[in-house]
Amino acid sequence: AQSVTQLDSQVPVFEEAPVELRCNYSSSVSVYLFWYVQYPNQGLQLLLKYLSGSTLVESINGFEAEFNKSQTSFHLRKPSVHISDTAEYFCAVSDGAGGTSYGKLTFGQGTILTVHP
* Distance of alpha carbon 96 from alpha carbon 29, whole angstroms: 9
Q: Which stretch in 13-21, 54-62, 64-72, 92-100 sits in contact with other proteins by CB under 8 A?
A: 92-100
Q: Do the bridges between strand 56-58 and strand 44-50 make them parallel or antiparallel, or are there none, so unpaired?
A: unpaired
Give the one residue of 27, 29, 43, 53 binding other proteins; rule: CB under 8 A: 43
CB atoms closer than 10 angstroms to residue 42: 9
27 is an interface residue for other proteins by CB under 8 A: no
Give the one residue of 32, 59, 86, 114 binding other proteins; rule: CB under 8 A: 32
DSSP string of 45-85, one letter each residue = EEEEEE-SS-SEEE-TTS-EEEEETTTTEEEEEESS--GGG
What is the total residue count of the chain? 117
Min CB(80)–other proteins separation in Å: 26
45 is an interface residue for other proteins by CB under 8 A: yes
Chain residues that interact with other proteins, rule: CB under 8 A = 32, 34, 36, 41-46, 49, 51, 90, 92, 94-96, 100-110
